[in-house]
């Protein structure tokens, strides 16, 4: 089975008492915080200033566009055009894409407005929360969040509301509360990584045709969780990310054994099994990169593996 969280940290807790959410501890000179059954690498929140909040929102906006479908990063100056196109479109499939493009324009308009607010503050002009600029910024974020239900992950698998909603959360929530929400989402993503890995091991690794696969799955799941918890600004990313990608490539290269004289049906089943292993590797990578759960894709993948396992036993 996949390693437990105690194995993941390589040290079991000294106390038999279960940790509470928000508990922190240091292991091998690295600080961790506990949420939802997982110990996650801890990063202190930025200061709750307008300038730092802008840095955070800019970073989260870039992240949202990075993990979502292509072509929706509409400039804020094109907001009116995007809204008109969305209102005119009648075809449901095209209208969904217009909605995603409008959501992108709203996000960019909101960040443009917030940039102006920060620039005014730098000039000594205090902008209250009731100021018209602040209200417009909030309205743009709120509408973008609503339309975000139409935005898909770049894989096309499902929507990715958790990532799309983060800039709005960073605008409305205290920064410390926002960081807490991120730790929770990372823990939920880690759980799905473990679920995918456990399912792959259960459905494939009991069959001798897939000898040697379990160790590759376990290593990749562990590396994926390390990647999910590590911020890109942390220098350790230059060790964590290459290890994660290299192990993924190793898993992709895995080839099941094929008995001598195997008939065409068995060959087809083995080929499909290998394709499922690669699909599980991709899904694990999506979750680790986005650092949020992808519940629909996880449920769908697990069901595919279950059906395959039943077919293989026939």
CA 6/CA 206 separation, integer angstroms? 25
Tell me the pLDDT tens digit for each residue of 110-156.
Answer: 999 999 998 888 888 887 778 888 899 999 999 999 998 889 888 87
What pLDDT was estimated at residue 312? 67
Domain ranges of the chain: 5-41, 50-172, 188-312
Residues 6 or more apart whose Cβ sits within 8 Å of residue 58: 111
pLDDT tier for residue 313 given thresholds of 50, 70 and 90: low
224 Cα distance to chain centroid: 11
CA 184/CA 198 separation, integer angstroms? 21
pLDDT at 258 over 90: no
Tell me the pLDDT tens digit for each residue of 161-173.
Answer: 778 888 888 888 9
Q: How many helices (H) and strands (E) does the chain have?
A: 12, 3
Residue with more model confidence, 314 or 33: 33
What is residue 20's DSSP assignment? P
User: In angstroms, what is the C-alpha Rg of the chain?
Assistant: 23
Residue with more model confidence, 102 or 269: 102
Residue 125: what are its φ and ψ, rounded to 5°? -95, 115
Q: What is the mean pLDDT of residues 184-209?
A: 94
Q: What is the dihedral sign for C-alpha 53, 57, 59, 60?
A: positive
pLDDT at 12 over 70: no
pLDDT tier for residue 314 given thresholds of 50, 70 and 90: low
Q: Please report where in the chains the tokens 């990715």 appear, as a residue.
A: 160
Q: What is the mean pLDDT of residues 220-224?
A: 97
68, 154 contact by CB (below 8 A): yes
Q: In the chain, where does DSSP find H-type helix? A: 5-9, 50-67, 79-88, 92-122, 132-147, 161-164, 166-172, 175-204, 213-229, 237-253, 264-290, 295-312
**Percentage of the chain modeled with pLDDT above 70:** 93
* Least confident window among 146-155, 277-286, 290-299: 146-155
């Amino acid at each position: 089975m996949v390693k437990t969280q105690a194995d993941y940290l390589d040290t079991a807790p000294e106390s038999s008492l279960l940790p509470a959410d928000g508990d922190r501890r240091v292991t091998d000179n690295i600080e961790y915080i506990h949420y939802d059954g997982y110990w996650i690498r801890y990063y202190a929140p930025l200061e709750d200033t307008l300038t730092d909040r802008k840095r955070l929102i800019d970073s989260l906006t870039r992240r949202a566009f990075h993990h979502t479908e292509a072509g929706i990063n509409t400039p804020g100056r094109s907001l009116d055009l995007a809204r008109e196109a969305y209102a005119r479109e009648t075809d449901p499939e095209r209208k969904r894409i217009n909605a995603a493009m409008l959501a992108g324009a709203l996000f960019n308009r909101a960040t443009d407005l917030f940039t102006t607010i920060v620039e005014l503050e730098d000039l000594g002009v205090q902008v209250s929360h009731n100021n018209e600029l602040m209200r417009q910024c909030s309205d743009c974020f709120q509408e973008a969040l609503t339309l975000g239900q139409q935005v898909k992950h770049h894989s096309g698998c499902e929507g990715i509301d958790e990532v799309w909603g983060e800039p709005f959360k960073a605008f409305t929530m205290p920064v410390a509360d926002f960081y807490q929400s991120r730790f929770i989402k990372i823990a939920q993503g880690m759980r799905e990584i473990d679920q995918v890995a456990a399912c792959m091991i259960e459905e494939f690794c009991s069959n001798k045709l897939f000898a040697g696969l379990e160790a590759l799955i376990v290593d990749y799941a562990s590396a994926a969780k390390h990647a999910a918890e590590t911020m890109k600004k942390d220098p350790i990313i230059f060790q964590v990310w290459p290890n994660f990608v290299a192990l993924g490539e190793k898993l992709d290269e895995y080839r099941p054994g094929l008995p001598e004289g195997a008939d065409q049906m068995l060959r087809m089943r083995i080929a499909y099994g290998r394709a499922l292993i690669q699909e599980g590797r991709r899904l694990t990578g999506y979750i680790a990169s986005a650092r949020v759960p992808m519940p629909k894709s996880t449920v769908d993948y697990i069901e595919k593996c279950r059906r395959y396992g039943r077919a293989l036993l026939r």
